[in-house]
Chain A
Amino acid sequence: MSGVTQEAVRTTTRVADWRSTLRRWIPKRWYAHVILITACFLSGIPLFYALIVSTQTNAEVFRYQFTPGTGLAENWNLVFNVRHLHDYMINSVIMAAGITFFKTLFSLLSGLAFVYFRFPGKWLVFGFVLITLMMPTEVLIIALFRFINDLNWQNTYLALIVPFTASATGTFLFRQHFASIPAELSEAAQLDGANPLQFLFRVLVPMSWNTIGALAVVQVIYAWNMYLWPNMIITNPDLQTIQTGIGALRSSGGALQFGPLMLGAVFTSLPPVLVFILLQKQFMSGFTLTRDK
């Protein structure tokens, strides 16, 4: 073999070596990783920056430093000891719990009525519930605002909870679910002398925890994030919910202080984000179950 060919072979091996090393180092479908990492980065950075700012004083914020600052204690003090953000959170918890609980309960009851009863005018009642899917509360908000005021409910938890406790979506969800449960069960229950409520709570509910959980997760996030309605109807800061209450941190004595505002924003987001990440499957099924209505 001549020296020239030897040289060529050596080069080829070197190139091949280099390729395999490259392949080892660059994961399969590197383009997917690039896109995904960029996406994670871009969607993560706003909250990450908010987290950093929540530890900074205003002066540090405007120095644009990307490291935790020295203002956390002071911000914490302002947010929780002076502005009592947790009071707003408690209000939101009550609202979210109330809406979720009663919506689920009422939907269970009406689902039961639609599946396990035959009564005259059922189609009419059903249509009556069905049509409300086309009436978003938002477009009725002016009239609802007046009506709640006429009821003397402004600045009560009733105003935050009661109007949202009936749901066509929930009713359909349980109607579909119950319809998929074999009829023998209810026959057996009736033979045992169970009344409809006993049948509901002893037989149907234990079989429906998945569906109930799914509806509950969606409702909790929806209620926690509600802004417009509490903002309109609650004028007494003691009863305000978190989404509006956090705005109080904007006027914390003069110039807008971003640190406390971001600390508030982070704490406002924690509950729904945790619920969402932990109960993602339930959340999804809650949504997918209701979509074929």
Chain B
Amino acid sequence: MIVSPQLLILGAAVIGAGVLGSVFRRAGGRTPVGMALGAAGGALGSLLFMAPLDYCTFEAERETLDVIFGMLLVVAGMALVLAPASWISERLIRRQSLISESQITTGTFKHWWLAFPLLLPTLTILVLFLYYPSVETLRLSTKLSRLGARREVSVCMDNFTRLVHDAEYLDIVGRTLWISAVIVVLSMALSLLIATMAYLPVRGASIYRVLLVWPYAISPAVAGIIFLLMFNPAGGIINHLTGQWFGVKLGWLNDPKVAPWTVILASVWKSMGFNILFYIAGLQNVPKDLIEAGAIDGAGVLRRFWHIVWPMLSPTTFFLIVTNLTYAFFETYATIDYLTPGGGPLKSTTTMMYQVVQLGIRNNDMGKAAAQSIVLFLLVIGLTLLLFRSGERRVTYGV
């Protein structure tokens, strides 16, 4: 062992005591109580991941990377215990309610325990099909595991350390990010333009609206199938037409530079209906007199849009970014699977989600797939938190 487990637990306890002690002191509670709780919490937190792993990352023959991952896991475990503990204790000491929303105090039913049978279905399902698989994903990520194999082997953090050196995987991460970004930006920008036009008092606006939004209800799978019909390089209509008109035929599905764009096109086509729908609704919330006031001030159309309408749309934009990102990360799977089954030439259409399934199901390599799932999870959570943080500052809610 490079670092002895006892030393780690001790260190964690000291840090925990420091953190919770200071929280108690600031909130006006008893510092020693906080320190004691913090020490226990910190020690427990350091064990959260390390006990199941049996401190394997700190074995003598491990590489520096393992040690770093090990330390990160210790810190993450501590944070998972200490962060909620500080939040709760601070609120308790200050006697604030733990639920922020105001609650009805009258009209509640007498037998409080009746709430539990009512909650039982939801809670059971969440525990069985979300919480348990989460823990199982963590466990699997440290194993070599195949369905139908005689045994399972523990590999410590190898499934993760391998990824750091895996140029192909890093490519996939980068590709996932840029493909998702392009889908979101392109789809939303076009939708905003079209929604603005459809919002104008033009004739037949309601007909336009219906004709514009229906592709949303098309499934990602069917989007893939229809685009396969049009864009397949051997015999597709698009190549036939471009060949006749311009003498150009693109490798829509078999050129690694073009294939991701075909996926993007199909995804944008499918997702625009949704965005248009919400932008039209968002525009309807913009007070007319505000725009007219801008017009009297003599501001140009673009300036009026940029300074008055766009800020008013920011809640819609923010909401759409979050939903579109989820779509781009996860739901494009079906489109990719029909357009370029297997993940495209040079894996050019393989997103992180697609790779997880390829590895876990097709290659029956469940441990590595679980590790990649966790990386994907961290990325999505990270992006969402980042969005929410910047969103808090930028979004203007209502008037």
Asked if A and B form a direct contact in the complex, defined as CB atoms under 8 angstroms apart, the reply is yes
Q: Which residues of A contact B (CB under 8 A)?
A: 27-29, 31-33, 35-36, 39-40, 43-44, 46-47, 49-50, 53, 61-62, 64, 102, 105-107, 109-110, 112-120, 122-123, 125-126, 128-129, 132, 134-147, 149, 162-168, 171, 179, 183-187, 190, 196, 221, 224-225, 227-228, 231-232, 243-244, 246-247, 258, 261-262, 265, 268-269, 272-273, 275-277, 280, 284, 287-288, 291
Instruction: Write the B101-128 contact mask toward A (1 if CB under 8 angstroms, else 0).
Output: 1011111111011111011011111101
B337 sits at the interface (CB 8 A): yes
Q: Are A225 and B220 in contact (CB under 8 A)?
A: yes
Q: CB distance B129 to A163 under 8 Å?
A: yes
Contact across chains for A33 and B202 when beta carbons are under 8 A apart: yes
Cβ contacts under 8 Å, B376 to chain A:
139
In whole angstroms, how far apart are the Cα atoms of A262 and B225 in the complex?
8
Of the listed stretches B131-139, B161-169, B247-255, B304-312, name the one at the interface; the rest are far from the partner chain: B131-139
Contact B118 A110 (CB under 8 A): yes
Q: Pick out which of these stretches binds chain A: B14-22, B53-61, B226-234.
A: B226-234
9 contacts between A and B (CB under 8 A): A33-B202, A47-B215, A113-B115, A117-B118, A125-B119, A146-B136, A162-B129, A243-B222, A272-B217
A275 touches B357 (CB 8 A): no
B112 close to A142 (CB less than 8 A): no
With contacts A36-B197, A39-B212, A135-B134 taken as known, whether A228 is within 8 angstroms of B334 at the C-beta atoms is yes
CB distance from B69 to the nearest CB of A (A): 19
> Is A243 in contact with B334, judged by CB distance below 8 angstroms?
yes
Please report which residues of chain B, range 203-246, place their CB below 8 angstroms from some CB of chain A when the two chains form the complex.
203, 208, 210-222, 225-227, 229-230, 235, 237, 240-241
- Which one of B104, B125, B218, B278 lies within 8 Å of A287 (CB-CB)? B278
Interface pair B229/A258, CB less than 8 Å apart = yes
User: Quick one: closest A residue to B132, CB to CB?
Assistant: A147
Question: Measuring CB to CB, which residues of chain B are less than 8 angstroms from any residue of chain A?
Answer: 97-99, 101, 103-110, 112-116, 118-119, 121-126, 128-134, 136-137, 140, 147, 190, 193-194, 197-198, 200, 202-203, 208, 210-222, 225-227, 229-230, 235, 237, 240-241, 269, 272-273, 277-278, 281, 319, 323, 326, 329-330, 333-334, 337-338, 353, 356-357, 360-361, 366, 369-370, 373-374, 376-377, 380-381, 384
* Neighbouring B residues of A46 by C-beta, 8 Å: 226-227, 230, 269
Cβ–Cβ < 8 Å partners of A137 in chain B? 129-130
Q: Give Cα A224 to B217, complex, Å.
A: 10
A119 touches B210 (CB 8 A): no
The 8 Å CB contact of B222, one of A125, A128, A134, A246, is A246
Cβ of A102: which chain B residues have Cβ within 8 Å of it?
121
Chain A residue numbers with a CB within 8 Å of B122 are 106-107, 109-110, 129, 166-167, 171
Question: Interface majority SS on B: helix, strand, loop or mixed?
Answer: helix
State in angstroms the CA–CA spacing of A273 and B136 once bound together.
37
Decide: A44 near B211, CB < 8 A? Known: A27-B203, A287-B278.
yes
Q: Which of A118, A141, A167, A227 contacts B334 (CB 8 A)?
A: A227
> A127 to B273, alpha carbons, bound, how many Å?
34
Q: B269 and A232: CB pair below 8 A?
A: no
Closest chain-B Cβ to A197's Cβ sits at a distance in Å of: 8
User: Which of A40, A141, A166 has a CB less than 8 Å from the CB of B121?
Assistant: A166
- Given A35-B194, A246-B222, A261-B229, output 20 extra A-B contacts at Cβ < 8 Å: A39-B194, A39-B212, A116-B107, A116-B108, A117-B109, A118-B103, A118-B112, A119-B112, A123-B97, A128-B123, A142-B360, A142-B366, A143-B132, A146-B136, A166-B130, A183-B104, A231-B337, A246-B221, A247-B221, A288-B278
Q: Which one of A36, A110, A135, A145 lies within 8 Å of B130 (CB-CB)?
A: A135
B219 touches A113 (CB 8 A): no
Given A128-B126, A142-B373, A265-B222, answer yes or no on A32-B216 (Cβ-Cβ < 8 Å): no
Residues on A with C-beta less than 8 A from B136 are 140, 143, 146-147
Least CB distance, A270 to chain B, in whole angstroms: 10
Q: 4 closest A-B pairs (Cβ-Cβ)?
A: A183-B107, A123-B98, A166-B125, A225-B219
Complex Cα–Cα for A160 and B257 (A): 37
Question: Which residue, B129, B237, B240, has most C-beta atoms of chain A within 10 A?
Answer: B129
Which of B98, B147, B229, B230 has the most C-beta atoms of chain A within 10 angstroms of its own C-beta? Answer: B229
Bound-complex Cα distance A107 to B119 (A): 9
- Residue of B103, B235, B337, B377 near A62 (CB, 8 A) is B235
A122 to B103, CA, bound (A): 11
Contact yes or no, B225 A261, CB < 8 A: yes
- What's the nearest-Cβ distance from chain A to residue B273, in Å? 7
**B240 cross-chain contacts in A, Cβ below 8 A:** 64
Supposing A116-B107, A185-B107, A262-B229 touch, asked if A162 and B125 sit within 8 A by C-beta, the answer is yes
Contact of A144 among B114, B129, B269, B323 (CB under 8 A): B129
- Chain A residues whose C-beta falls within 8 Å of the C-beta of B115 in the assembled complex: 113-114, 117, 119, 122
User: Nearest-CB distance from B194 to chain A (Å)?
Assistant: 5
A residues in contact with B214, CB < 8 Å: 273, 276-277
Bound Cα distance A117, B193 (Å): 47
CB distance from A260 to the nearest CB of B (A): 11
Contacts of B357 in A (CB 8 A): 141, 228, 232
User: Is the Cβ of A228 less than 8 Å from the Cβ of B369?
Assistant: no
Chain A residues, Cβ within 8 Å of B230: 46, 49
- CB of B319, distance to nearest CB on chain A (Å): 5
Determine which of A28, A128, A284 lies in contact with B202 in the assembled complex, contact meaning CB atoms within 8 Å. Answer: A28
Given contacts A36-B208, A139-B374, contact A110 B337 (CB under 8 A): no
Q: When chains A and B are docked, how far (Å) is the Cα of A32 from the Cα of B98?
A: 51
> Are A280 and B277 CB-contacts (below 8 A) given A106-B125, A225-B221?
yes
Known pairs A116-B107, A227-B333; A50 contacts B123 (CB<8 A) = no
Contact call B218/A36, Cβ cutoff below 8 A: no
Chain B hits for A139, CB < 8 A: 137, 356, 373-374, 376-377, 380
- Distance in angstroms from B346 CB to nearest chain A CB is 23
Question: What residues of chain B lie closer than 8 Å to A140, measured between beta carbons?
Answer: 130, 133-134, 136-137, 373
Chain A min CB distance to B240 (Å): 5
Closest CB of chain B to A164's CB: distance in Å?
Answer: 8
* Inter-subunit contact B147/A146 (CB<8 Å): yes
Closest to B326 in A: A136
